[in-house]
Amino acid sequence: MALIRVAEGATIDGFTVGKRLHQGGMGSLWSVSKDGEPGPLLMKCPVFNEGDDVSAIVGFEVEQSILPRLSGPHVPRFVAQGDFSRLPYIVMEHVQGRSLAEWSGTAPVPCEEVAYLGALVARALQELHRQKVVHLDLKPANVIVRNTGQAALLDFGLSRHEELPDLLAEESDVPMGTGAYISPEQIVSDRNEPRSDIYSLGVILYELVTGKLPFGSPQRRSGMLKRFWRDPVPPRRLRKDCPEWLQEIILRCLEIEPEDRYASGSQLAFALQHPDQVAITARGRRLEQDGVVTTFRRWARSQTLQKKLRPPVTQHVSSAPIVMAAVDLSHGVDTLAETLRVHARRALDADPSARLACVTVLKTSLMSIDQDTDARGNSTYVQRLVELKDWARPVAGDDDRVSYHVLEAVDPAAALIEYAHHNQVDHMVVGARASSALRRYLGSVSAKVVAEAPCTVTVVRAHA
């Protein structure tokens, strides 16, 4: 089925589409309205362009799963969403106010105003963390100061919900975030630390005070890693009227190890609101960066520190296993796929604490350029994702224990094995097709998986 196209004047699931407010590489924002729904409202739609990184699609799925679970003035009010089979969208409150990017664009900002704004954002983070979500992409563009005086956080495409599968981490181990604001632990793929948001807020405070970014805007991991050993220029060096207490707060937020930062958003907000209670240490008094010798020593220590911050590889508790259903949908939902579905349901029913990861591989070519869209212009990745969810619907329903993953790979078996390694899968259910001369010569996917998977494997064959 072709996806519905959004256009001004269209009616989509009862929402009347107004003007397009923004068009970016990752998505578009539209003004919408609906009888009975208080406005103003905003519709967010992802963009599927040929050659795009599919992580944008995964990020949109993440936001669709997290935003409906959030409440309060510190987030946009969720209204509705559409699925990928027709039109993926999120309708939410169009938050009225001023973006923090407007302040950062005119920085330096008066120090008293920086403290006021920082406290607003810190309280918003405290509320977000209380609802078991870490934002992980905090930056000025993702904060709106409402007309009512509260800070609202936007864009949860990179966020992590404590009680939901981390789709982004399960499909990739590259750093996810904005290079200028990303925390050290995010660089080494730890997405579970609430104090990562405290670090990002520290970068924002530094930017508002000085008009500069403490670590520049690196786009590569190698550039991001420099913050492990190179301390930023002290704000008071760049701005003489910056008080010691404010520099103390900012540099504490920017500590490399999470335990050296403020433990919570509420603690940070209190410090910003009560400068007379801030204990001034060498952090607040310094005017120079560390010298060459100290920087080199910190670089040497950082090699160990990076390993310390990296999430430990531990075995899953036996009472909460991850079961992976590796389904081949290249032939559609055929007899083998249906049989595999039965076994996947049994695995999920066998343990109420188990989680099911439904995985399929979109095979790519080694020597040729693959088409990312079909004849109707629809994303082949999205189409396969829709097929996977359709296949899993009798198994999953609305079960939060089920996640969906489309892997793009030249070698399907290698992709499945790598996924199992990366996510510490406990058991895999994989289908095996009938033997053929070609499979006997090249080796089957299921045979390679059985031989190399880091978990137990059940091979399912279609009933004759």
**Residue 243: pLDDT over 50:** yes
Catalytic residue among 35, 52, 83, 137: 137
Of 165-174, 365-374, 393-402, 416-425, which one has max mean pLDDT? Answer: 416-425
Residue 205: domain span: 97-309
Dump pLDDT digits (tens) for 5-25.
Answer: 788 999 999 999 999 998 876
Does the residue 314 lie in any domain?
no
Strand partners, 429: 325, 458
Q: Given pLDDT bands bounded at 50, 70 and 90, which one contains residue 172?
A: confident
The predicted structure's pLDDT at residue 330: 83
Q: Which residue has the higher pLDDT, 368 or 55?
A: 55
Tell me, yes or no, whether 326 and 425 share the same domain.
yes
CATH of the domain at 242: 1.10.510.10
Q: Which residues, other chains included, contact 409 with Cβ-Cβ below 8 Å and sequence gap of 6+?
A: 361, 362, 363, 364, 415
- DSSP assignment of 48-89 equals --TT--THHHHHHHHHHHHGGG--STTSPPEEEEE-TTT--E
Tell me, yes or no, whether 137 and 51 share the same domain.
no
Q: Given pLDDT bands bounded at 50, 70 and 90, which one contains residue 314?
A: very low
Ramachandran quadrant class, 343 (left: phi over 0; alpha: psi -120 to 50; beta: rest) = alpha
Query: Is 13 a residue of the active site?
Result: no
The predicted structure's pLDDT at residue 24: 75
Q: How far apart are CA 298 and CA 438, in angstroms?
A: 56
> For the chain, what percent of residues have pLDDT higher than 90?
50
The predicted structure's pLDDT at residue 53: 62
Does the residue 267 lie in any domain?
yes
The predicted structure's pLDDT at residue 131: 95
Tell me, yes or no, whether 242 and 131 share the same domain.
yes
Does the residue 316 lie in any domain?
no
93 three-state secondary structure? strand
Strand partners, 289: none
Listed residues 276, 309, 342: the one ending a domain:
309
Listed residues 64, 93, 122: the one ending a domain:
93
- DSSP one-letter code for 379: B
Tell me, yes or no, whether 64 and 107 share the same domain.
no
How many other C-beta atoms are found inside a 10 Å radius of the C-beta of residue 268? 28
As a whole number, the mean pLDDT across the chain is 86
Dump pLDDT digits (tens) for 139-163.
Answer: 999 999 999 999 999 999 999 999 8
Tell me, yes or no, whether 120 and 39 share the same domain.
no
CA-wise closest residue to 423 among 299, 298, 315: 315
**Residue 173: pLDDT over 70:** yes
Give the chain's domain count. Answer: 3
CA triple 337-342-343, angle to 5 deg: 95
The predicted structure's pLDDT at residue 3: 58
